[in-house]
A and B are shown apart, each in its own frame.
Chain A
Amino acid sequence: MKYRKFKEQLNQYASFSVPNNRDLLVDPSQYIQSELLATKTKPFQWLKLLTLSGSLALILCALVLTFHFLPKTRITLDINPALKLTLNHYNRVIDVSGLDEEGDLLVDSLEKTSGSLSSVLESIQAMALADQTLDSLASPMLFGIEGSNYQQEHKIKTIILAQFDLTLTPVIVINQHSEESPDRVYRYAMIEAATMIPSTGMPEYSTTACMTTTAMMNTTMGMTTQSAYSPSTDQPDTTSGVANSDYTVLNYSIIEFRVLAESLSITEAKLQLVLDIFVGYSEYQTYDHLVLLSQLSLQDLYPLYQNLNNPN
C-alpha cells in the first residue's frame, strides 16, 4: 500500500467530530450593531481624538515655551555702565542684567526688561538719558552680539541699527562671527614683546609673527559696515605702520580674549574696540597703553575709533 492510499482511507473512514452549533446562534442579526449603535461609539472616538489633539497641543506648547525661555543670543551694551541682554529663539529679550553695579542700578529702574528688542532698547536709552548715564541722544553706544552664527547676529544687528537710526545715535555693533568664515572671529593685537600682559595669568602667547586671515572682524559704525583692518595674507599688515620687528603679533584665542576682557573689567566688545584703536594708532605700543585705553569711557573712545575708520 502506498501513502496516498492510506491518506484516502484516512479521509474516507476517519473524521474529527467537530460540533456545529450554528443553530444555537438564534438571530445573529441581534448582535450586529446598527449604524445608530455604531455611531454611539463615536463619542469615545471623539474622546480619543480630543485626548490626542490635547497631547499634541501640550507638546507644541512645551516646545514653544522651551524656545521662548531658552537663551539663544547674548548682547552686551556699553554705555558706561554695561548691560547684558539675553534673547530667545525669536529674538525677543527674555532677560536684562547689569555687568557692573551701575548697570544693576540702571536695570532696576527699567520699565521693560523683556519683550521685543526694539522696545527694550528704547526703554534702556530713555532711562539712561533720564538718569544722565547718557548725556544726549548723540551719546555713542557699543553693542557686542554673541550668537550662534553670522546670519543670526546680522539679523539682530539690523534691528539695533534700525532702532537708533531715527535718533541719529552713533552705534557700534560688533559681531562674534564674520560673514566670510563660519568660525568664531579671533581677535588679535600687536603688543610689544617685552611687555607681555603679566596680570592676566594667561598662557604664554605665540611669538610667531603670524596673523590668520580669519582674524578679521567686521565692525559697523552707524549704517556702514567695514572691516577695521583686513590683512590679506598670513603676514602682519605692514601698511598699518605699527608692525615691525619690535612688535609681536599676539593671536588671541577666544578664551584668552575673554580672560583679557575680564582682567580689564570690560566687555569683549569694548576690548575689541580698544584693540582696534590700539592697533590703529602708532602711539599706542605697550600693554600699559592698552590698559589706559580700556579705562577710557565710550565717549572718549568713539572719536578715536571714528577717526580711525574715517581718517579724512
Chain B
Amino acid sequence: MGDSLNQLVKALQAGNMDAFDAIYEKTHRKVFFIILPILKDRSLAEDIQQDTYIRMLQSIHAYREKNFLAYLLTIAKNLAINEYNKRKRSVLTEDIEFDRSDYPFINHLEIEAEKADFIRDVLSVLDQQERNVVLLYTLENLTHREIAAILDKPLGTITWIYSKAIKKIKKRIKEESS
C-alpha cells in the first residue's frame, strides 16, 4: 500500500486529480480514526477529516517526505488537537488529559443482528483498550504501528495488549463452546 500510495501522491503532485480519489479511498478511515478519539465527537471529527484533506492538498506541492500516510495522519492529529484546544478555551472546560486508548470505538460498531449477541458477548470479556486494539486490527486491518499512532501508545504496549486480548477471547470462546 505504501508504494502505491506514494505513486498516487506523485500523480497528484503532477496534477492528476483522479489520484486524489484513490488516496481518499485508501486513507479516509484511518484519518477518521485518528481524529475521533481526540475530539470524541463524530460530526466534529468529520469536519476535521475534510479539513485534513484540504490542508494536504494545499501543501502537496511542497511534500518531499517518503511516508505519506504518516504525513497525512500528522496533519489530521494536529488539526484535531488544535480544534480540541480551541474548544477547551471557548467552553472553559477543565484541562483533562485525554487518554485516546480509552475511547470506546465500539460505539461506532455496526453489528448485524444475527450475530450481535454472540460478538458482543465475546468482546465483553475485554477491557476498553483491548477491545479497541482487537477491533481496529481485525476490522480495519491496521498494523500495530498504525494502532499505536491512533491510540497514542507505544508499539510494544499495543502488541502486548493485543496478545492479552487474544488469550481472553480464546478462553471465552472455549467456555461458550463447552
Contact = CB atoms under 8 A, between A and B. Distances in A.
Interface string B58-86: 10111000000000000000000000000
Given A13-B119, A17-B110, A29 B17 contact: yes
B103 interface: no
B54 A31 contact: yes
Contacts of A14: 109-112, 115, 119, 139
B173 A7 contact: no
A25 B54 CA distance: 8
Contacts of A6: 122, 169, 173
B101 interface: no
B28 interface: yes
Interface string A1-40: 1110011011111111111111011001101110100100
B145 interface: no
Contacts of B25: 22
Interface stretch (B2-10, B45-53, B91-99, B149-157): B45-53
B21 A16 contact: no
B41 interface: no
B59 to A, nearest CB: 8
Contact of B173 (A3, A16, A19, A35): A3
26 contacts: A1-B173, A2-B173, A6-B173, A7-B138, A10-B138, A11-B138, A12-B115, A13-B115, A13-B119, A14-B112, A14-B115, A15-B109, A16-B135, A16-B139, A16-B140, A18-B32, A19-B46, A20-B28, A21-B49, A22-B28, A24-B50, A25-B53, A28-B54, A32-B60, A33-B58, A38-B62
